[in-house]
Amino acid sequence: MRSMLTVFRKELSDDFTSLRFLILFGLVLLAGIFSVYIAANTISSNTTTEVSSFATNSASQFIFLQLFTISSESLSASFLTFITLFVPIVGIALGFDAINSERNAGTLSRLLSQPVYRDDVINGKFLAGVSTIAIMLISIVLLVAGIGLRIIGVPPSAEEVIRLIAFLGLGIVYGAFWLSISMLFSVLVRRIATSALASIAIWIFFYFFISIIASSIAGRIAPISDSSTTTEQLKYLAVNVDIMRISPVYLFQEASSVILSPDSRTLSELIQIQAQGLQAWMMPSPLSVAQSIIMVWPQIVTLIALTVISFAISYVKFMREEIRST
Amino acid sequence: MPAVIEIKDLTKTYDNITAVNKLNLEIGESEIFGFLGPNGAGKTTAILMLLGLTEPTSGTVSICGFNATREPLQVKRITGYVPEKVGFYEDLTVHYNLLYTAWLNNIPEQQIEDRIKTALKTVGLPNAANRKVQQLSHGMKQRLAIADVLVKNPRIVILDEPTSGIDPEGVVQLLELIRKIAQEQGMTVILSSHQLPQVQRICTRVGILSKGKMIAEGPLDQLGRKAFGGSEFRVEVQVSEVTSIIIDAIKSISGVTSTEALGKDIIVNCERDLRPQIAKAVIDNNGQLIQMKIQSYSLEDIYLKYSGEV
């Protein structure tokens, strides 16, 4: 345990002083500030309109959370979108050379010749990576929330704070998943560039290509046209979403949008689309935090399971690996 | 001299290739043992098993009474290892690299700075603490590797090809350093190398490994005698004309083990320095002695003799 903490301490210090992390941190922070600025302006203009309308929309009860989910009409890039995009990059950047760089530099055999168990090394590195992601996410959310608070002037309610904490937890698991994927490649592949490329390829596939593949497969399984019935459209959407759910990116998006939007009562896109049209006429009935979490519990558990499986493979491979001359 | 390292029937097989084959060895306290063999002989694999970094297929290793396979942490606590391709965190300072080793070895905080300072002074890098490792030369990094080992104050030091890539002057300095440390601090040193003159320079005993098997082991003089039929010295005698009378006269000298005529030279293998007796035998038998050279068998001769027999 003590050795693991020693490895953890050193890795954490390395992460926070590495140029690559500082650049990414700055990038995420800038994107966060930008998105919250846009969101705050959008909220301000919407609130002015809503105040003059007859009903108190449910959305106005959770104005603070909207800072993280909404964007402007011209630019659809919310804080959540940026986090979904950048957290994998940070996770990959922290893990793609975790083991193979030590092996290539000859530090691994020197490290393992010290009185440490082999798993202390990989556990310490993973824990340091997760902590770095956690510290980064918490500080960015706090900074961005502070800026948003100053602009919109509405403090968060207790429920909003709880939802933000839940979102942070989810974000950390999401980052941990990408860290574990990149660490897996750093154990499997000797060349650092190859492990970085392999991790990025996985990210690109799940971020960009999965939606194309999903809609293409769904179109073959449950084809739709302009004259399709609602049942046919629902079937198409169900198949599409089922395929999309193999992507950790989609799982995170789905789970975090529900956690940050108490008004989300369903994960079905079609119902959400229809509900948006009726929203102004509906009685406000946001879900409680517990209900929202229960709704996305499968997504959360799947993300955790994927992280655990990926890390477990790295762990087993690293533990069974023969140390040769280097 | 009590044995601090005991290896019994140590075997390691990788995918049907036997890297180390039934290795048996005992190394005593404060001994500098040379582990010899060509590349791929199994030296590094044997070393990794000594440290508990690789599990043996069969056999046992005991380091100061600890089983290297079952108690690797205890073994690593008392053993310092300098791998062939030693690596440091290049973008960190010398001090931080040593500090990390100290932390991993659980050295009490109040002793750490003293140990780092002493280790750097011992290896001749007293002013390098705040330099980044990437600024050091290869030779300096090898010295740093020894400092890294000294920080943990081990009973046993294992050096795997420590002089590879260092200039001749650096090699001499490094070997002297190893000898000095072993003598002053009473450490047992295992030096693995295929550079025979280096091993010969500092080792009290050697083991020759070939294709995973220990083909010879013992003090250098003993190995030489064993390899060359009891001879420890070789005298090259140059005469104006080699005759059978002269050869017979030399052969009859007590202590001569064999003779061989090569043109105008007679090669005489003998147990001790017999130059006066040989000179007398040549002159007494009307021979004209031109010159005479004596040499003891080098490790290279011994090594080639043994490896040629495998």
Q: Tens of pLDDT along B251-295?
A: 999 888 888 888 888 988 887 888 899 999 999 888 888 888 887
pLDDT of A31 > 50? The answer is yes
Across the interface, do A325 and B85 touch by the CB < 8 Å criterion?
yes
A-B C-beta contacts closer than 8 Å = 76
Given an 8 Å threshold on Cβ–Cβ distance, is A325 in contact with B83? yes
Looking at the DSSP bridge assignments, the partners of residue B217 are B207
- Do residues B285 and B193 make contact, with C-beta atoms less than 8 angstroms apart? no
Question: CB of A309 within 8 A of CB of A315?
Answer: no
**In the numeric block, which tokens belong to residue A62?**
């959770």
Closest of A63, A110, A21, A23 to residue A261, by C-alpha: A63
Give the span between the Cα atoms of B239 and B247, in whole angstroms.
Answer: 11
**A163 assigned to some structural domain:** yes
Structure tokens at A260: 């940050």
Q: Which amino acid is at A257?
A: S
For residue A325, is it within any domain? no
CATH no. of B231-296 = 3.30.70.100
> At A126, phi and psi to the nearest 5?
-65, -45
Contact (CB<8Å) A109/B81: yes
Judge whether A70 and A35 are in contact, CB under 8 Å. no
Helix (H, G, I), strand (E, B) or coil at B38: coil
Alpha-carbon torsion angle B10, B12, B18, B21, nearest 10: 0
A117 in any annotated domain: yes
CB contact under 8 A, B100 and A326: no
* Chain B: closest CA distance from residue A43 (Å): 47
Give start and end residues of each alpha helix (H) in B60-167: 72-78, 94-104, 109-122, 138-151
Percent of chain B with pLDDT over 90: 25
Q: Do A106 and B54 touch (CB under 8 A)?
A: no
Question: Mean pLDDT in chain B?
Answer: 86
Q: Using the predicted structure, report yes or no on whether residue A45 has a pLDDT greater than 90.
A: no
B232-B234-B239 Cα angle (round to 5): 155
The chain A residue lying nearest B75, using CA atoms, is A115
Residue A113: which of B45, B81, B84 has the nearest Cβ? B81
Residues of A in contact with B74 (CB under 8 A): 115
A14 contact residues in B (CB cutoff 8 A) = 89
pLDDT in tens, A139-160: 999 998 888 888 888 888 888 8
> Which token pair is B129?
């603490």
- Selecting from B54, B76, B89 the residue whose C-beta is nearest the C-beta of A107 gives B89
Which residues have C-beta within 8 Å of that of residue A67, sequence separation ≥ 6?
A36, A39, A40, A43, A79, A144, A145, A148, A152
Cα A264 from Cα A296, distance rounded (Å):
11
CA dihedral B153, B154, B155, B159 (to 10 degrees): -130
For residue range B152-207, list pLDDT tens digits in order. Answer: 989 999 988 888 777 777 788 888 888 888 888 888 999 888 777 777 778 888 88
Q: How far is CA A306 from CA A12, A85, B173, in A?
A: 24, 18, 54
Whether the CA torsion B227, B233, B234, B239 is positive or negative: it is: negative
* B3-218 carries CATH number 3.50.50.60: no
Contact B104 A115 (CB under 8 A): yes
Could you tell me the CA-to-CA distances from B2 to A264, B5, B9, B27, B29 in Å, in that order? 77, 9, 20, 8, 6
User: What are the chain B neighbours of A324 within 8 Å (beta carbons)?
Assistant: 44-45, 48
What's the gap in Å between the CA of B261 and the closest CA on chain A?
46
Q: Is B12 left (phi over 0), alpha (psi -120 to 50) or beta?
A: beta
**Facing A3 at nearest CB: one of B45, B85, B104:** B104
More confident residue, B189 or A48: B189
Determine the distance in angstroms separating the CA of A62 from the nearest CA of chain B, rounded to an integer.
Answer: 47
Residues 10-49 of A with CB under 8 A from B: 10, 14
**What is the number of domains present in chain A?**
1
pTM over 0.90, yes/no? no
Whose CA is closest to B19, among B70, B57, B63, B75?
A: B57
Which residue of B43, B104, B149 to mutate against A (max A Cβ within 10 Å)? B104
Q: Tell me the shortest Cα–Cα distance from B77 to chain A, in angstroms.
A: 5
Within-domain flag for A104: yes
Helix (H, G, I), strand (E, B) or coil at A148: helix
Q: In chain B, what residues touch A112 (CB-CB under 8 Å)?
A: 53
CB contact under 8 A, A113 and B100: no
- Residue B276, class by beta-carbon neighbours within 10 Å (0-12 exposed, 13-18 middle, 19+ buried)? exposed
Neighbouring C-beta atoms of residue A190, cutoff 10 Å: 12
Q: Are the C-beta atoms of residues B16 and B57 closer than 8 Å to each other?
A: no
Q: Does A108 touch chain B (CB under 8 A)?
A: yes
- Domain span at A204: 2-320
Average pLDDT, chain A: 85
SS (H, E, C) A271-320: HHHHHHHHHHHCCCCCCCHHHHHHHCHHHHHHHHHHHHHHHHHHHHHHHH
- Give the start-end residues of each E strand in A17-95: none
Residue A283 falls inside a structural domain: yes
Q: How far is CA B243 from CA A241, B184, B248, B277, B279, in A?
A: 102, 54, 9, 17, 14
The pLDDT of residue A202 is above 70 = yes
- Residue spans per domain, chain B: 3-218, 231-296
Structure tokens at A103: 């092996």
ipTM above 0.85, yes or no: no
Mean pLDDT of A241-255: 90
Closest residue in B to A107 (Cα) is: B87
Select from B89, B91, B95, B142 the residue whose CB has the most chain A CBs within 10 Å, as the one to mutate to test that interface: B89
Query: Distance (Å, rounded) from C-alpha B113 to C-alpha B93?
Result: 14
